[in-house]
């Protein structure tokens, strides 16, 4: 039995609920969730970051925790389409089926923004992996020089906006270019851990709520479309996008600390946080499979189903060593470095 559930578990649990809600609720609402929900995951990952000077060990650890499950789920979700193309070729002997199969496989390997449907969230995994690797290298090299690392992060943010404005039509493999925007949020999360006074002063939550409301009013009444979508590299208004995202992150953090005081809800949040990656991978296929259901049109039922079914699958998967390795990334023998389960995301 768990002796204590840290508020960070509640933070992750709330983050995954918000993430699922963003793909379930009406688009008028999800637009505002998109302002901060993916930055929140990069922020939390940065908050849990611990520098590793053994780059190979760090790479192996994150590769097995993130990329191996990515490949496993990619293959699993791709098999039905591959089987259909093979069946069509065997039935018709038409070369068009081979061409479509080859194109589909290349698309899956390329990953990133071009993946959609049940593969919709796959971009996040590769972007997170490369963000972790790059940030670890930068921080271990320049972490003692605060001014320099601040300049580096600022340059990444500027490059992200340039990429948004001038190269939006270019779709990079694995959405690797999203690292430009993800790294500043990752850095902010790490700074929040290193310098807690920055994010814990009493008036911060009030300021965050006030700023978020102001942005809602601007978006609704002043005909200024404020959009933020990391997958599609639509980063909205410079600087303002940072303040909006940070406001949302601070509000969710405050909610997590409140939830942590309620025994039932903090236990529930913890359970969801442990299954967060499986929920990320499976919520979309479940939504697509149930979207014609009469009950699924109800937002609460849709959110519940998209959380509960993946959680059950996670519990089953965690009982078998093979599925724990290839779908949960639990390779305990990868290195001697002990990494908390929270640091996987």
3 state SS for the chain: CCCCCCHHHHHHHHHHHHHHHHCCCCHHHHHHHHCCHHHHHHHHHHHCCCCCCCHHHHHHHHHHHHHHHHHHHHHHHHHHHHHHHHHHHHHHCCHHHHHHHHHHHHHHHHCHHHCCHHHCCHHHHHHHHHHHHHHHHHHHHHCCCHHHHHHHHHHHHHHHHHHHHHCCCCCCHHHHHHHHHHHHHHHHHHHHHHCCHHHHCCCHHHHHHHHHHHHHHHHHHCCCCCCCECCCCECCCCCHHHHHHHHHHHHHHHHHHHHCCCHHHHHHHHHHHHCHHHHHHHHHHHHHHHCCCCHHHCHHHHHHHHHHHHHHHHHHHCCCHHHHHHHHCCCCCCCCCCCCHHHHC
3-state SS string over 148-188?
A: HHHHHHHHHHHHHHHHHHHCCCCCCHHHHHHHHHHHHHHHH
What pLDDT does residue 293 have? 65
Question: How sure is the predictor about 82, in pLDDT bands with cuts at 50, 70 and 90?
Answer: very high
Asked if residue 317 has pLDDT above 90, the reply is: yes
Cβ atoms of residues 115 and 122 within 8 Å: yes
The span from the CA of 234 to the CA of 228, in Å, is 6
Query: Which residue did the predictor score with more confidence, 295 or 337?
Result: 295
What pLDDT does residue 342 have? 40
Question: How sure is the predictor about 340, in pLDDT bands with cuts at 50, 70 and 90?
Answer: very low
Mean local confidence (pLDDT), 109-121: 94
Asked if residue 79 has pLDDT above 70, the reply is: yes
What pLDDT does residue 336 have? 45
Query: Which residue did the predictor score with more confidence, 142 or 1?
Result: 142
Asked if residue 194 has pLDDT above 50, the reply is: yes
The tokens 């192996």 sit on which residue?
A: 60
The span from the CA of 143 to the CA of 33, in Å, is 32
Query: Which residue did the predictor score with more confidence, 56 or 224?
Result: 56
Q: How far apart are the first and last CA of the chain?
A: 23
What pLDDT does residue 246 have? 95
What pLDDT does residue 4 have? 47
Mean local confidence (pLDDT), 275-304: 83
Question: How sure is the predictor about 2, in pLDDT bands with cuts at 50, 70 and 90?
Answer: very low
Residue 221: CB atoms within 10 Å = 8
Asked if residue 51 has pLDDT above 80, the reply is: yes
The span from the CA of 124 to the CA of 130, in Å, is 10
Asked if residue 294 has pLDDT above 90, the reply is: no
Q: What is the mean pLDDT of the chain?
A: 89
- Asked whether the whole model's pTM tops 0.85, one would answer yes
The span from the CA of 289 to the CA of 226, in Å, is 31
What pLDDT does residue 333 have? 57
What pLDDT does residue 295 have? 60
pLDDT tens digits along 65-77 = 999 999 999 999 9
Residue 307: which of 331, 337, 280 has the closest Cα? 280
Q: Residue 93 region, left (φ>0) first, then alpha (ψ -120 to 50), else beta?
A: left
What pLDDT does residue 203 have? 86
The tokens 């840290």 sit on which residue?
A: 6
């Amino acid at each position: 039995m768990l002796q204590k559930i840290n508020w960070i578990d509640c933070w992750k649990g709330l983050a995954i609920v918000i993430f699922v809600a963003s793909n379930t609720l009406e688009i008028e609402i999800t637009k505002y969730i998109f302002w901060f929900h993916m930055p929140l995951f990069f922020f939390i990952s940065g908050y849990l970051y611990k520098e590793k000077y053994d780059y190979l060990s760090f790479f192996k650890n994150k590769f097995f925790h993130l990329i191996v499950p990515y490949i496993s789920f990619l293959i699993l979700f791709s098999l039905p389409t591959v089987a259909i193309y093979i069946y069509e070729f065997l039935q018709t002997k038409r070369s068009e089926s081979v061409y479509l199969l080859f194109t589909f496989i290349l698309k899956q390997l390329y990953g990133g923004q071009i993946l959609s449907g049940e593969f919709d969230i796959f971009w996040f995994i590769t972007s997170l992996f490369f963000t972790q690797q790059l940030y670890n290298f930068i921080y271990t090299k320049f972490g003692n020089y605060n001014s320099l690392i601040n300049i580096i992060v600022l340059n990444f943010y500027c490059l992200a906006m340039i990429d948004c404005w001038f190269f939006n039509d270019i779709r990079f493999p694995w959405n690797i270019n999203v690292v430009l925007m993800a790294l500043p949020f990752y850095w902010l999360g790490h700074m929040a851990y290193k310098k807690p006074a920055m994010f814990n002063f009493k008036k911060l939550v009030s300021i965050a709520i006030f700023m978020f409301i102001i942005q809602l009013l601007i978006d609704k009444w002043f005909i200024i479309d404020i959009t933020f979508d990391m997958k599609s590299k639509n980063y909205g208004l410079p600087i303002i996008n940072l303040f909006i995202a940070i406001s949302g992150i601070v509000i969710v953090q405050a909610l997590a600390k409140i939830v942590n005081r309620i025994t039932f809800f903090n236990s529930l949040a913890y359970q969801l946080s442990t299954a967060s990656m499986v929920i990320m991978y499976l919520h979309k296929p479940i939504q697509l499979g149930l979207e014609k259901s009469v009950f699924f049109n109800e937002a609460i039922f849709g959110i519940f189903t998209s959380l509960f079914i993946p959680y059950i699958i996670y519990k089953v998967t965690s009982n078998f060593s093979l599925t724990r390795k290839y779908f949960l990334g639990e390779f305990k023998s990868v290195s001697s470095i002990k990494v908390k389960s929270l640091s996987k995301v």
